[in-house]
Amino acid sequence: MSLSFSQYQEGSPLPPAFYEVPALEAAPRLLGHTLVRRTEDGHIRCRIVETESYGGIEDKGSHAYGGRRTARTEVMFGEGGAAYIYLIYGMYHCLNVVTGAMNDPQAVLIRAVEPLTPDDEALMRKYRNAAAKKPVDLSGGPGKLCRGLRIDKSLNGQSLMELDGPLWIEAGRPLKNETIMQSPRINIAYAEEYAAKPWRFFLRNHPYVPLLDKNMTVFKEFGE
DNA sequence: CTAATGATGCACT
DNA sequence: GTGCATCATTAGC
């Protein structure tokens, strides 16, 4: 692997080089990094703990399958490092990280995050008008985390590499004594032979990750 | 289990 | 342009 999981200085925005790879490489590497949202009430920082790869025009699970280039999918065809945000089921938003080169539509869906501090959690609870009892109810799910971070389509196309922009990703603490698992992606039965590809990645036994899958396998283990 | 809720993409005129 | 099935989900029975 050309890029290690820990070569970035904690707290600095992930640079363009991080995003210049296929989604399948970026998806597991995003785990442990920090998603930061600037709001009028202050910054919210949270750790990325679950992702899914949607890569290339051959992936039948991807919005860009077959090269579908429309108003919605346009940002997927741009350079890596931007946010691709769309509305799903008429009421929820999903946040994706665009990766890869220009004209190669690759994206990583952010499926679950964990607030870093009680203050971060408090702001997320404020934006979710829902009484989340368990951690997974707060931000374990793509729609939930977007609501908690006040992310909607107005941020579509925004760069994720600008420190103190509305939304960015900075390097987190390197993974230690944790294991990355992989399993098939969620709710893409329509993707035929691509539905079973193990392109979902998440931290093992993490309280903010829902939907354990019996088909999950170990992707990578991190020691001391 | 299923309703909610609206943008999207595609077939067809 | 119009019609309409579909959906990378969630909350509440």
Residue A2 lies in a domain: no
**Residue pLDDT, tens place only, A13-28:** 999 999 999 999 999 9
Strand B close to A92 by CB, under 7 A: no
State residue A2's pLDDT score.
46
Tell me which residue of A18, A19, A89, A100 sits closest to A57, measured CA to CA: A100
Residue A73 lies in a domain: yes
- Strand B proximity: list residues 41-80 of A with CB under 7 Å: 63, 66, 68, 70-73
CA-to-CA distance for A112 and A175, rounded, in angstroms? 16
Residue A5 lies in a domain: no
Kindly calculate the radius of gyration of chain A based on its CA atoms and give it in whole angstroms. Answer: 16
Residue A99 lies in a domain: yes
**Residue A128 is part of which domain span?**
16-222
State residue A4's pLDDT score.
63
Tell me which residue of A158, A203, A169, A174 sits closest to A34, measured CA to CA: A169
Q: What is the dihedral of CA A149, A155, A158, A161, to 10 degrees?
A: -10
**Residue pLDDT, tens place only, A85-144:** 999 999 999 999 999 999 999 999 999 999 999 999 999 999 997 778 999 999 999 999
Which strand B nucleotides have any atom less than 7 A from protein CB atoms?
Answer: 4-10
With tokens 């929820």, the residue in question is: A92
Q: Give the number of domains in chain A.
A: 1
CA-to-CA distance for A186 and A172, rounded, in angstroms? 26
CATH code at position A198? 3.10.300.10
φ, ψ of residue A150 in degrees (nearest 5): 55, 50
State residue A5's pLDDT score.
73
The DSSP output letter for A13 is B
Strand C close to A30 by CB, under 7 A: no
Nearest nucleotide over every DNA/RNA strand to the A139 CA, judged by C1':
C10
Is the confidence at residue A42, as pLDDT, over 90?
yes
**Residue pLDDT, tens place only, A70-89:** 999 999 999 999 999 999 99
Residue A6 lies in a domain: no
**Residue pLDDT, tens place only, A170-195:** 999 999 999 999 999 999 999 999 99
Query: What's the start-to-end Cα distance of chain A, in Å?
Result: 20
Question: DSSP string of A24-86?
Answer: HHHHHHHTT-EEEEEETTEEEEEEEEEEEEEESTT-TTSTTGGG---TTTGGGGS-SSBEEEE
DSSP-assigned beta bridge partners for residue A15: none
Is the confidence at residue A63, as pLDDT, over 50?
yes
Residue A93 lies in a domain: yes
Which strand C nucleotides have any atom less than 7 A from protein CB atoms?
Answer: 6-12
**Residue pLDDT, tens place only, A111-125:** 999 999 999 999 999
Residue A88 lies in a domain: yes
| Per-residue confidence band for A224, with pLDDT thresholds at 50, 70 and 90 | confident
The angle formed by the CA atoms of residues A27, A14 and A100, to the nearest 5 degrees, is: 50
CA-to-CA distance for A128 and A117, rounded, in angstroms? 17
Residue A214 lies in a domain: yes
Strand C close to A209 by CB, under 7 A: no
Is the confidence at residue A48, as pLDDT, over 60?
yes
**Residue pLDDT, tens place only, A156-174:** 999 999 999 999 999 999 9
